[in-house]
Amino acid sequence: MLIQTAYNPLPNKQACNNGAVLMGSSISSMCAALSQLTHIKFLGMANYPIMRSTYTPFGVTPNTGILSTTSLITMSKGYTEGHKLFYASTPISTYLCVIVAYESGTNDSDPSSNTFSPKIDIEVKALNDSGSGYVEVATADYGISMDSTNSVLLQSAYYDAGRHGYVHIIDTGINIPPSPPTNITPVPPRPLYLPATAGGYNVRGEVVAINVDAEDCKIRHVTILDIYTPEVAP
Amino acid sequence: MSNSYNSSTILADPSSVVAGRQVDYETIQRIANANNYSFGVGACHNVLSQSYADITFIQDSGSFTEMSEWRIPLASLQHSTLEIVVNYKIHGTAVGLTSNIKFTLDVDGGTSSVTINLPNSTNGIANDDLAITMPSPSATQVYYGTLTCEVQADAANNSEVEIKSIMARWKPLTSPLSTSILYQYDSSPAYYPKGTTRTGHNQALTSRYGHQVIDNIELLRTRLKSYLTWSPVYNASSSIFTNPQDGAAPEVYLSMGHINTLISQILISNGWDNMTNRKLELHVRYITDSIDKSIDFFNNSIELVTGAGGAVRWDEYTLELDYGALSTIGDTNLSYYTAMLDNTDNNFSILGNFNNIPGVKYPAINPSNHGFIIGLGLMGV
């Protein structure tokens, strides 16, 4: 069945009164409205801002609490960082789109090399709490590796020295593969997959860890969202 | 079972009741199932999401020290357990249960807190549930909570706590839902759970079923989701990283560096314009100024509350949409729009920047930081 994306007009409630002839279209309208709730409005998502240091060598004081673009670009080639982002999936979460905003290095910070090679790896880990807190117990998806070789915009960029932050935005795409991925090392960008279970532990409907590892760039923001599937078997 | 839901049978096929097809009474049962699922599970994904790089969120004090504060939407007045998960690192070696993070939730004046111990780890995960007694439903909507975070370290052993990410979500209601009337944000309209045993029988239903299903759908469409939760870290302290280049130099004020980079993707479905309820709201934590100030967010000019300078307060502002100007990402299958601070002269002048550096850092307050923003929350339907 098709999942409508819009808030459709609901039927007149009088159509449901005792003695009234209840037409199939009224029921159909309720079905469509509910599928919009379960499969559109209540899809999971998370918007993660990544806080960065406000240190700047250019200010009056080096620690102002004020974030400027220039405070972010002190990066040398080979710089790495990692983020463990928790995502509360829904019982019907299956494929995730991840949108990443990042700043890559500038030539100013590494005069010996003006070619940074930004790379971002993303994987999904299943979590289990056996009573003493969550532990990563299995790999739900070995995930993806985004770099400049797989047709993804990840080139180095000069920052806008003017007045505001400048980020590249990259995403995994929304094209759901014909079958669940089976890779055991990161592959070129594709939606991340949440199996029903991994290693015998439930994944869907549970909190999972989205591990984002970056090299030659700094992550500023990550959005994770359930991908809408237009046609679903009822 | 009565009022139950099963996530594998929540889709009722709209075409199963059209002319030419045999009417399937399971359709009615699935409508009930989807009703219950939506109320119990809907919007129980992340309500708080924030991550920290560069050792920005760090504390060396042996006493609980307030670090951050957020505004989060409620799922309903029935969802009363907030699950909180933290990724952290202990610098040095703490002894005993001395490294802790404490969360306090305030909903309409009622508070509850949970303290989560952080055992020694370089990349640990800690989690716990914060249970709160929700207020009784009334005519006034209660739709958000204010969550405050405090941290303490094992100062006696020179150990420090670094927080790397924080996430919170409302725990879904378990199946079956309670047999009583349930409440979302106020006393009316209420939510009526649907019995899936009765709707599984091949017998006629009364008008009550149809009326309540339609009422339930209208109510659930107004449930809020969290789109952005940003709080500064305003009491960072480290004896290990004494040079701010190395750590303990977090964001304290909303600044020019957040323009175009503090991003949230929000879902605006067709039909949104015709809704008359609360739809999209920006919550701003602000140090008041006696001078009128505004910020530009998502193509909205927001006039911040003016008053005697130096008071810290949260205020709520309704946002409108300019469809022509607000989409910046590619194909996501659904109509997501990018909400963020606009790149305007006004924002450049009011937000923190090199020409506008306060002489003190919050929680210290003096005239130099009047008019600065120290928290943002975006929630919508």
* Nearest to B363, CA basis, from B148, B118, B192, B196: B148
| B65-76 exposure pattern, b = at least 16 Cβ within 10 A, e = fewer | bebbbbbbbbbb
Question: What's the confidence (pLDDT) of residue A151?
Answer: 54
| B164 touching chain A per CB within 8 A | yes
- Phi/psi for B225 (5° steps) reads -120, 155
Lowest mean pLDDT among A175-184, B231-240, B279-288, B354-363: B354-363
pLDDT for B194-237, tens place per residue? 988 888 887 778 888 999 999 999 999 999 999 999 999 999 99
In a domain, B339, yes or no: yes
Task: Give the count of beta carbons closer than 10 Å to the beta carbon of residue A181.
Answer: 17
- The model's pLDDT over B44-56, given as tens digits with 9 standing for 90+, comes to 999 999 999 989 9
Res B95 pLDDT > 60: yes
- Inter-chain CB proximity A218 and B53 less than 8 Å: yes
Residue B36 has pLDDT above 90, yes or no: yes
The answer for B 278-337 residues in CB contact with A (under 8 A) is 328-336
Whether chain B has a CB inside 8 Å of the CB on A28: the answer is: yes
| CA dist., res. A8 & res. B320, Å (int) | 21
Shortest CA distance from B206: residue in chain A: A18
Q: Give the pLDDT mean for B112-132.
A: 97
Residue A83's pLDDT band (cuts 50, 70, 90): very high
Adjacent-strand bridge partners of A126? A138, A208
Question: Is B2 contained in some domain?
Answer: no
| Chain A residue numbers touching B85 (CB-CB < 8 A) | 86, 134, 207
Distances (CA, A) of A100 to A79, A224, B282, B330: 18, 9, 23, 13
**Are B215 and B114 members of one domain?**
no
- One domain, residues B150 and B194: no
Q: Write out chain A residues lying below 8 Å of B250, CB-based.
A: 51, 53-54, 65
How does the average pLDDT of chain B come out, rounded? 93
Band (A154; pLDDT cuts 50, 70, 90): low
Residue among B46, B261, B353 whose CB faces A101 most closely: B261
Confidence of residue A161 (pLDDT cuts 50, 70, 90): very low
Please say if the pLDDT value at position A5 is more than 60.
yes
Q: What was the pLDDT predicted at A108?
A: 47
Name every chain B residue with its beta carbon within 8 A of the beta carbon of A57: 245
The Cα–Cα gap between A198 and A147 comes to 27
Instruction: Confirm whether B292 is domain-assigned.
Output: yes
Identify any residues that bridge with A209 across adjacent strands, giving them in sequence order: A86, A125
Verify that B98 and B67 share a domain, yes or no.
yes
B270 has a pLDDT exceeding 80 = yes
Q: Of A132-136, A148-152, A225-229, B348-352, where does mean pLDDT reach its minimum?
A: A148-152
Beta bridge partners of B65: B151
Phi, psi of B243 (to 5 degrees): -95, 125
Let me know whether B89 and B234 are in one domain.
yes
Q: Which residues of A touch B365 (CB under 8 A)?
A: none
**Predicted pLDDT of residue A46:** 98
Say whether B53 and A50 touch across the interface (CB within 8 A): yes
Q: Do A174 and B275 touch (CB under 8 A)?
A: no
Q: What is the pLDDT of residue A233?
A: 84
- Residue located via tokens 């009337």: B181
Type of residue numbered A129: D
pLDDT of residue B204: 79
DSSP codes, B285-345: EEE-BSS--EEEETTEEEEPPB-STT-EEEEEEE----GGG---S---SS-EEEEEB---H
**Number of residues that make up chain A:** 234
- 8 Å CB contact between A63 and A191: no
pLDDT of B299 over the 60 cut: yes
**pLDDT at site B202:** 79
Separation in Å, CA B256 to CA A43, A168, B221, B350, B355: 32, 17, 35, 9, 11
Residue with tokens 């802790």: B100
**Is residue B109 a part of any domain in this protein?**
yes
Q: List the single residue in B with minimal CA-CA distance to A127.
A: B125
Whether the CB of A125 is below 8 Å from some CB of chain B: the reply is: no
Q: Measured between CB atoms, does A151 come within 8 Å of chain B?
A: no
Model pLDDT, residue B307: 85
Residues in chain A within 8 Å Cβ distance of B45: 44-46, 87-90
Residue B18: pLDDT over 80:
no
pLDDT-based confidence at residue A110 (cuts at 50, 70, 90): very low
Q: List the single best residue of A43, A63, A67 to mutate versus B (max B Cβ within 10 A).
A: A67
Percent of chain A with pLDDT over 90: 54
**Total domain count, chain B:** 3
Provide the pLDDT for residue A69: 66
AA letter at B267: L
Encoded tokens for A201: 């532990």
**Same domain, residue pair B34 and B70:** no
- Residue A60, chain B, CB below 8 Å: the answer is yes
A16: contact with B, CB 8 A cutoff: yes
Tell me: do B343 and B232 sit in the same domain: no
Q: The domain that contains B165 carries what CATH number?
A: 2.60.120
**B302 and B360 belong to one structural domain:** yes
Is B270 at the interface with chain A, CB within 8 A?
Answer: yes
Q: Which of A86, A109, A194, A212 to mutate to test the interface with B (most CBs of B within 10 A)?
A: A86
Confirm if B373 and B286 have CB atoms less than 8 A apart: yes
A19-56 residue pLDDT tens? 877 778 888 999 999 999 999 999 999 999 999 998 87
- Distance in angstroms (rounded) separating the CA atoms of residues B129 and B254: 30
Q: What is the mean pLDDT of residues A172-193?
A: 94
User: Does any CB of chain B come closer than 8 Å to the CB of residue A176?
Assistant: no
Asked whether residue B111 falls in the same domain as residue B231, the answer is: yes
Task: Point out the residue among A6, A35, A83 whose CB comes nearest to the CB of B11.
Answer: A35
The answer to whether residues B110 and B51 belong to one domain is: yes
What residues make up the domain containing B331? 252-381
pLDDT of residue B378: 98
B307 and B342 fall within a common domain: yes
Given the DSSP bridges, would you call strands B225-230 and B58-59 parallel, antiparallel or unpaired? Answer: unpaired
CA within 13 Å, CB half, A128: 11
Q: Are residues B116 and B192 in the same domain?
A: no
Residue B354: per-residue pLDDT: 80
Which region among A66-70, A87-91, A180-184, B360-364 has the lowest average model confidence (pLDDT)?
A66-70
Q: How many CB pairs under 8 A join A and B?
A: 357
Q: Which two tokens stand for residue B276?
A: 């008359």
What residues contact residue A228 under an 8 Å CB cut-off, 6+ apart? A3, A5, A39, A40, A43, B332, B333, B334
φ/ψ bin of B19: left (φ > 0), alpha (ψ from -120 to 50), beta (otherwise)? beta
* Residue at B1 is within a domain: no
Q: Is B91 in the same domain as B34?
A: no
Cα–Cα distance measured from residue B377 to residue B167, given in angstroms and rounded to the nearest whole number: 14
List chain A residues with CB under 8 Å of B252: 54, 64-66
pLDDT digits (tens, 9 = 90+) for B143-197: 999 999 999 999 999 999 999 999 999 999 999 999 889 999 999 999 999 988 8
What string of DSSP letters covers chain A? Answer: -B---S-PPPPPGGGGSTTS---HHHHHHHHHHHHHIIIIIT--EEEEEEE---B-SSSSSSB-SB--GGGG----TT-EEEEEEEEE--TT--EEEEEEEEEE--GGG-TT------EEEEEEEEEEESSS-EEEEEEEEEEEEEETTTT----------SSS---EEEE--S---SS----SS-BSS--EE--SEETTEE-TTSEEEEEEEEESEEEEEEEEEEPP-SB---
